[in-house]
Structure 1
Amino acid sequence: MNRIASAAGLAAAAFLIAPAASAQMRVEALDLTLTAMPAVSSDYLFRGISQTRNRPAIQGTFEALHDSGFYAGAFISNVAFAGTDARQELDLLAGYRFEAIGIAWDIGAIYYSYPGYSRPSSGYNIDYIEGALKASKAIGTVTLVGGAYASPNFFGQSGTSLYLEGGADVTLPLGFTASGRFGYQWIEHEPRFGTPDYATWSASISREVVAGVTLGVGYYGTDISQDRCSGRQKVCDDRVMVTLSRKF
């Protein structure tokens, strides 16, 4: 397993620092724009909670966008949930982007799956689906962003859920971008999910450092105390996370 992880890490690093050619691939015959973004990170945080039990993550995001605004894509990452054999996450997403009343909108759906996960006889399914509505508005050097995500049966069959998030990205001198986010997660069956309803926040700064590679450093937190975090783990703690990514 360590050799596999090391090889994957070297492959990701090689992909990240490959010579910059085109940031995107265009398929004119199909009116498609294809993008890929590999990333390596000191952790994998989802709404403020570590999905790798505070360990590094190797990830990839892929998307095909049609000129009409319709898109489909995927996200992959390693994960490590306590008490399960889940080791991979594969998310499939599709939606439609458009502009109305001076705001950029994105409406779609995300299917979160965990290939290789063996559901115990007394356990719960961890795959789930969410509907998503996102919006953004650029005002000078500031871009305001917001999103709403709803699921009829959230992770671990924990019932209906709703996540709301808002924030801003600010373009700074010397190529830096500062970002801030605040979100709140509601969960119907809190004990089954493992945490109460909670708030999460982040503040980060990023910049391209070399050959199209972007370095991001951020501080992430939740208001979940350790005694109310799933299994009293430290996956809900505040932390600094570092990420290297490159968009192709």
Structure 2
Amino acid sequence: MLLLRNHAAESQPRGLPMIRSLKLATAALIGGMMLSTSAVQAQQTIESAGLTILTTPLIGSDYMFRGLSQTRNRPTAQVTVDVEHTSGLYVGAFVSNVAFAGTNARQEVDVSGGYRFELAGVKLDLGATYYAYPGYDAPTGGYELNYYEFILRASYEIAPVKFVGMAAYSPDFTGESGTGIYVEGGFDMALDFGFTIGGRYGYQWVERNFARPGRNEGAFGAEDYSNVSVFVSREIIGGVIGTLSGVFTSLDQRADCFGGSKVCDNRVVFTLSRPF
């Protein structure tokens, strides 16, 4: 989900794929609103199979991943699907538009799976995710974007506060940059009048931050970094949730950010989502 160290000029237009994606996501949101004029249970069940299905279309002003823009300050359209069995086993998928400098990557398709359970009041999620970019071709001097991670998530609730944390490990992070480790912690707090506020702090380590002269190996393109996000969200109408977030990173926009790409600067992001 991050960037290659190659930042040559882009060779393909982005406008039409993004417009189509935004239209699809907007239609999905409107369809969801038509299901009900009030909040509804945000899931579907197939009782005979013991399955719970959660589908979440989303549109937003930017696609942020671990503090970095994946659309280079452009709008995003996304869909997430999660299917969980009563045993705790689950599979999921995520689709979004992306825009990485110097590449022809335009879509991201992730697949995930794992096991959710509770231990001593702590909800745990042991899983793995594969991040793929269909249609992407590595440019000259570039490396593969696709990678996978093993992920542990945990949450513990002391109403009205829910504490959350995660740790992710990749044996070969994006851009063939070697071992990648990410840790994150934070909280969500329910407030009066239907508002929720929250915050996250995360840190990303990568084995090879920059290319080493004379070696045929990939690199991440930026220093290890921390990121902080704060948000406020509320249902607006018909189950549609609006979220306003502030996102900050420790990377210097000019010196540390993938050769000067404008994806690391602090920003405000607004999204609309409709789980059903």
Q: TM-score range by the shorter chain?
A: over 0.9
Q: 1:144 to 1:219 in 2, by over 3 A?
A: same
Q: Is the 8 A contact 1:190 1:196 kept in 2?
A: yes
Name the count of aligned residue pairs: 248
Shift of 1:17: 2.4
Deviation at 1:26, TM superposition (A): 1.3
Matched, 1:134 2:153: yes
2:17 aligned with 1:8? no
The DSSP-based 3-state class of the residue aligned with 1:217 is strand
Instruction: Give runs of aligned pairs for residues 49-198 of structure 1, distance below 5 A.
Output: 49-120=68-139, 122-191=141-210, 192-198=219-225
Instruction: Find out whether 1:30 has 2:49 as its counterpart.
Output: yes
Percent of aligned positions with the same letter in both sequences?
Answer: 49
* Residues 133-185 of structure 1 deviation map (CA, whole Å, 9 limit, x = unaligned): 01000101000000000100001001001100000000000000001000000
Work out the CA distance in 2 between the residues paired with 1:122 and 1:7: 31
In 2, Cα distance between the equivalents of 1:206 and 1:90? 26
The residue type paired with residue 87 of structure 1 is R
CA RMSD of aligned residues (A): 1.3
Partner residue of 1:230 out of 258, 261, 272: 258
CA distance in 1, matches of 2:18, 2:185: 35
Deviations 1:38-75 (A, max 9, x none): 00010011100101111010001001100000000000
In 2, the alpha carbon distance for the partners of 1:229 and 1:4 equals: 26
Match of 2:246 in 1: 219
User: Partner amino acid for 1:208?
Assistant: E
| In structure 2, distance between residues paired with 1:234 and 1:5 | 19
Give, in angstroms, the shift of residue 92 of structure 1. 0.4
Quick one: higher RCO (CA 8 Å, sep 6+), 1 or 2?
2
Matched residues in 2 for 1:17 and 1:86: separation? 28
TM-score if structure 1 supplies the norm length?
A: 0.97
Conserved 8 A contact 1:17-1:213: no
Describe the SS at the equivalent of 1:193.
coil
**Structure 1 counterpart of 2:22, one-letter code:** G
Structure 1 gaps, min length 5: none
Q: Structure 1 residues 4 and 196, CA, compared in 2 at 3 Å: closer, same or farther? A: closer
The answer on 1:244 being equivalent to 2:265 is no
Between Structure 1 and Structure 2, the one with more strand by share is: 1
Q: Secondary structure at the match of 1:117?
A: coil
Instruction: Give the TM-score normalised by structure 2.
Output: 0.87
Q: Alpha-carbon deviations, 1:171-227, whole Å to 9, x = none?
A: 000000001000000000001111100000000000000010000001001000021
Letter in 2 for 1:14: A
1:121 is displaced (CA, Å) by: 5.0
How far, CA to CA, are the matches of 1:12 and 1:66 in structure 2?
Answer: 26
Separation in structure 1 between the aligned mates of residue 67 and residue 17 of structure 2, nearest angstrom: 28
